[in-house]
Every structure is written in C-alpha cells, then in structure tokens.
Amino acid sequence: MTTANNISPAKVCAQILVNADIGLLPGVPGQILPVTQIPGNVQTPVYTLKMPDAPDQVVCLYDTAGKYNGRLMRGQTTTHPGVSVIVRAPNGDGYKELCIPITDAFDNFFYSQVTVDEIPYGVHSVYRIGDIISLGEETGKRRQLWSINYRMCFIGF
C-alpha cells in the first residue's frame, strides 16, 4: 500500500522511530543520529517491509489494511493507512526495552513534518489500534516476537 506521493506509510513511521532515537535505519550512508543504546551496546536496526534473519534484535514495520473514513464535504475521500510494528528480541526483555519505547514514541507523537528520501510529509497522528501482542517464540530460533498495530493520518506536501 502506498499513499501520499506513493510513499509506504511504514517508511514514514520508521523515520519517526529513528527521529525518536528508538533505532537506526540500516544501510543509510553517513547517518549520524543519536541512537538509544539497548543493554549490551546493541543498536537496534529499524527495517521496513522485510525483516532479515539477523540480527536477533530488530524492529520491522509493514503496511497493513487501513480504514476508509468516507467523503469530506468537498468531495475528497480520506483513508488512514495501517502500519504493523513487529519487534524481535533474543529474550523477554525486548518488551520493556523496545515495545514500551515504541508505543511511547507514537502515543506522544503530534503533528510534525517527517522527511523520507528528501520528501517532507505532514504527519498528523499515529494512533494505536490495540495492545502490544505477544506472538510468542520464533520457531527454531528461541527469539521472542511482539506486534503493535497502528493507523496514521498524513499528507504529502
């Protein structure tokens, strides 16, 4: 799913997490950002649309079904796209070390301009549509997984 200016909502939300010092975007040359240090000096990579098998501790955001909000008085229709955040950690500590800071970052987010690939987007809100859900242990890997689902409201400039 892509929306304003054909951008993935997951990419916009990933940039919000990076801006909030939750993690870093892997493979971005010259990225100099303050990054929250998770115990063990691990910098948590934030991926979009595809979660790699390594490292053990990672955050990945996916585009999911949004909510159609109908037509405005001037004829425009609005949709709030969905974003699913999947958190993987080597143990149960990932809940308090990653899930809680992610929910805090989005729950406390208010209108701001977020730049992705040098294009600014006005993000009105990123709102949670449920609790943090434990997905249990990853089969054969002994890593823990959690899911947090959101919808967002944003525009391209």
Q: What is the pLDDT of residue 39?
A: 42
Whether residue 2 lies inside any domain: the answer is no
Alpha-carbon dihedral 92, 93, 97, 103, rounded to 10 degrees:
30
Angle at CA of residue 25, ends 110 and 30, nearest 5°: 110
Whether residue 76 lies inside any domain: the answer is yes
Say how many domains are in the chain.
1
Whether residue 7 lies inside any domain: the answer is no
Q: pTM of the prediction?
A: 0.84
Whether residue 32 lies inside any domain: the answer is yes
Q: What is the pLDDT of residue 38?
A: 41
CA pair distance 61, 64, nearest whole angstrom: 9
Q: What is the pLDDT of residue 32?
A: 40
Q: What is the pLDDT of residue 3?
A: 53
Whether residue 8 lies inside any domain: the answer is no
Kindly report the CATH number assigned to the domain that includes residue 126.
3.30.2000
Whether residue 10 lies inside any domain: the answer is no
What backbone torsions phi and psi does residue 56 show, to the nearest 5 degrees?
-70, -35
Q: What is the pLDDT of residue 34?
A: 38
Q: What's the domain range around 108?
A: 17-147
Question: Secondary structure of 18-30 in the HEC alphabet?
Answer: HHCCCCECCCCCC
Whether residue 9 lies inside any domain: the answer is no
Q: What is the pLDDT of residue 78?
A: 73
Q: Give which of 100, 101, 92 is closest to 22, Cα–Cα.
A: 101
CA pair distance 132, 119, nearest whole angstrom: 31
Whether residue 110 lies inside any domain: the answer is yes
**pLDDT per residue of the chain (157 residues) written in tens, 0 to 9:** 545 567 899 999 999 999 998 888 876 544 443 344 444 445 789 999 999 998 899 999 999 998 887 777 777 777 889 999 999 999 988 898 899 999 999 999 989 999 998 899 999 999 999 999 999 999 888 899 999 999 998 876 4
Q: What is the pLDDT of residue 139?
A: 87
75 Ramachandran zone, left/alpha/beta (phi>0; psi -120 to 50): left
CA pair distance 13, 16, nearest whole angstrom: 5
